[in-house]
Amino acid sequence: MVKVLVIDFGGVLAEEGFREGLRAIARNNGLDPDEFFAVARNLIYESGYVTGKTDEHGYWEALRVKTKVRNDDNELRREILNRFVLRNSMLEEIKRAKAGGAIVALLTDQTDWLDELNRRDPFYQHFDYIFNSFDLKKSKRDATLFDDIAGQLGVEPGEILFVDDTPENLERAQAQGWKTLRFTTVEDFRTAIKEENI
C-alpha cells in the first residue's frame, strides 16, 4: 500500500524550465540545442551547483568557459526561471492526495532557484516535505539518496510512489525498492494514482 507520494518539480509539478531555457540560450547563441543542453546539464552536477557546493555565478562562469555563450548571469537565469510555470492541475491532484490521507513530498534536483520560485508562486505549503538536492548535498544521481529519504519519512521503500519524468531517476529509485511512475501527462498521472488508491 502506498503511503507516500513523492513527485519531481521540473517536468512534473511545473513545466520543464531548465531544459527549455537552456535550449533557448543555445538557439540565441547559434549553438545546437541538444548538444548544449547535454553539456549544461552535466555541468550543473559536475560544478557542484545542484548539490550546493558552488553558487550560481560559478555555474554560469563554468558554462561560459565550456560553451562560449555570451550572456550575463541575469540573462541566463531569466531564460530558465521564466519557463518554470506551475501546473495548477498538478497542484490540485497533490491537494486531493493529501486530503485523502497520503503524505506528499517534493523531491527535486534543484538549486537555490527552488526557494526563489516558491517566493514567486508559492507551492511549498502543499507538501509535507521538501527534498531539494541543493540543501541535501546529494542528488538523484546517487541512489543512496532514496534510502536516506525513506528513512527520514519513516516508511518502507515499497510504500513510496515516486513520480518523475527522467527514466534514470526512476530506475535508481526502483532499484532501492520504491514504486515508480514516469510522468507523461496530468491525465495519465491522475489515472495512475487512482489505481494506487491515492
Map grid coordinates 550560481 to a residue: 56
Contact 5, 193 (CB under 8 A): yes
pLDDT of residue 29: 96
Read off the pLDDT band of 18 (50, 70, 90): very high
Q: Which residues fall within 8 angstroms of residue 107, CB to CB, at 6 or more apart? A: 6, 7, 8, 131, 140, 149, 162
Supply the CATH number for residue 9's domain: 3.40.50.1000
Read off the pLDDT band of 3 (50, 70, 90): very high
Contact 81, 48 (CB under 8 A): no
Q: Which of 36, 54, 81 is the last residue of a domain?
A: 81
Q: Over the chain, what is the mean pLDDT?
A: 97
Residue 65 and residue 22 share a domain: yes
Number of CB atoms found within 10 A of residue 72's CB:
11
Dist. CA 110–CA 7, nearest whole Å: 13
Q: Which of 61, 81, 101 is the last residue of a domain?
A: 81
Q: Which of 43, 62, 81 is the last residue of a domain?
A: 81
What are the tens digits of pLDDT across the range 65-120?
999 999 999 999 999 999 999 999 999 999 999 999 999 999 999 999 999 999 99
